[in-house]
Amino acid sequence: MAIASPNTPTSTSTSGTGQGYGAALATVTTLFFMWGFLTCLNDILVPHLKSIFDLNYTRVMLIQFAFFGAYFIFSIPSAKIIDSIGYQRSMVVGLLTMGVGAFLFVPAASVPSYPLFLGALIVLAAGITCLQVAANPYVTVLGKPETASSRLNLTQAFNSLGTFLAPFFGGLFILTAARKIEEIRALSPADLQAYRLHEAATVKMPYVGLGITLALLAIAIGSFKLPKIEHAQHQRGEKVNDSIWKHPNLVFGAIAIFVYVGAEVSIGSFLVNYFSQPEIGGLTEKVAASFVAFYWGGAMIGRFIGSALLQKVKTGTLLGICSICAAFLVMLSMLTSGHFAMYSIILVGFFNSIMFPSIFTLGVAELGPLTGDASGLLIMAIVGGAIIPVAQGWFADRIGIHHAFFLPVICYLYILFFALSGSKPNSERYAKV
């Protein structure tokens, strides 16, 4: 598997800095941790804002739609920013935009206003989108092409570490004084407004702290002399006689990202309700929620293991094996009941682990100066995390939550196709002609 175009040099310039790839990779890895941390804080905002504003499930899920919708809206513009100012400066722009979004939680909480919270989330997600569009391909091309998937899996493992730690942080600083909805509804208008102001204010300190951290990180990234990847970005005034649409591995990869994120988020979103079913676990929602951590924790462990395996195993091969295992485990859970069905679906998280970085790496293979544009398309496909869960919910309302998991199975079967055939770059396709 190759990342650079066969017609472009694979050497990278360090602009005389002498900085090794290890230092650059460690620096960029902090970005993966931060956006994973901030993304997972949405899981704390959902119940918190639901109780503050007495929202139904449809309205409160606007949090996820606003967040994931930003990927669709801002991915391509972010790719254009990379073409204009390069990867490193684009990362700084992403961090500063995230910082602005974090600081906007202060006026949203001061009113308090649910629409303002959604607006702050959109700005925050716009910054994360720019960061992802820049950082994912940068890690992919930062070093030897044959170990690109291994590097991206390693950095994504720290992204998963952020998602693992965020709920503890949010629970400690944001959900410290939650009240039952019945008690809130019994408050007088004056007391209700006072309660909302008090509870909304709990997000101020955490997000101001995160905003300051993001600003400092932007300064650090801007000051660090990261190696330049000349062959994987547009040069000013350069005309590229190529198109991202001429690379089937990218087009198929975008669909694979769409269905992967959709499947992962769908499963994670339904686990609490699934484990609460009498025929599955019969657990209370509070107990069921504790089991969900194993699903996301499995992804973190799997990425560390996957990073090592991908040093020796081809990316497409390992992706195909994981997609088969994930599809099998979901079907097994659908066809069984009790704790066997519970642990089968939890184990899917482990096999999800290497999918996003592996699909991404295969999708941008041999794109050369189009890598930034390709990254924009792949990150835009993350919108599947907003669409497929809604579709699964529609099926769950009609055929039951147990059998609605057939939709993720279809997603994993498509990923299997991508791993075996759709991921082949043009050099391999034309070699057979």
pLDDT tens digits along 312-348: 899 899 999 999 999 999 999 999 989 999 999 999 9
Distance separating the N- and C-terminal Cα atoms of the chain: 19
3-state DSSP assignment of residue 24: helix
Would you list the DSSP string of 161-180? HHHHHHHHHHHHHTSSS---
In angstroms, rounded to a whole number, what is the distance separating the alpha carbons of residues 3 and 133? 16
Residue 279 phi/psi, 5° resolution? -80, -5
Each residue's pLDDT tens digit, 201-211: 888 999 999 99
Confidence at residue 18, expressed as pLDDT on a 0 to 100 scale: 36
Widest CA span in the chain: 76
- And the tokens for 109? 């909480």
> CA-to-CA distance for 375 and 411, rounded, in angstroms?
21
Region of poorest pLDDT, from 4-18, 178-192, 404-418 = 4-18
Amino acid in position 238: E
Residue 55 burial by Cβ neighbours in a 10 Å radius (0-12, 13-18, 19+): middle
Report the pLDDT value the prediction gives residue 4, as an integer from 0 to 100: 35
Peptide bond just before 167 cis, omega within 30 deg: no
Q: Map out the domains of the chain with their CATH numbers.
A: 19-228 (1.20.1250.20), 243-433 (1.20.1250.20)
Question: Beta partners for 3?
Answer: none
Token pair of 72 as six digits: 């669709």
Q: What is the pLDDT of residue 426?
A: 67
Average pLDDT (372-389) is 85
Could you tell me the sign of the dihedral formed by the alpha carbons of 28, 29, 30, 32, in that order?
positive
Residue 45: is its pLDDT beyond 90? no
Share of the chain above pLDDT 90, in %: 32
Under a CB-based contact definition with an 8 Å cutoff, are residues 413 and 238 in contact?
no
**CA 300, CA 304: separation in Å to the nearest integer?**
7
Task: Show the tokens assigned to 233.
Answer: 């970005």
Q: 386 versus 90: which is more confidently predicted?
A: 90
Higher-confidence residue of 235 and 267: namely 267
Q: Locate all alpha helices (DSSP H) within 310-421, ordered by sequence.
A: 315-335, 338-352, 355-363, 371-380, 384-399, 406-417
Structural contact between residues 332 and 233, judged by C-beta atoms closer than 8 angstroms: no
More confident residue, 281 or 97: 97
Please report which confidence band the pLDDT of residue 9 belongs to, taking 50, 70 and 90 as the band edges. very low
If you average pLDDT over every residue of the chain, what do you get?
82
For 238-242, what is the mean pLDDT? 60
Q: For residues 70-85, give the mean pLDDT.
A: 88
Residue 15 — left, alpha, or beta (φ > 0 → left; ψ -120 to 50 → alpha)? left
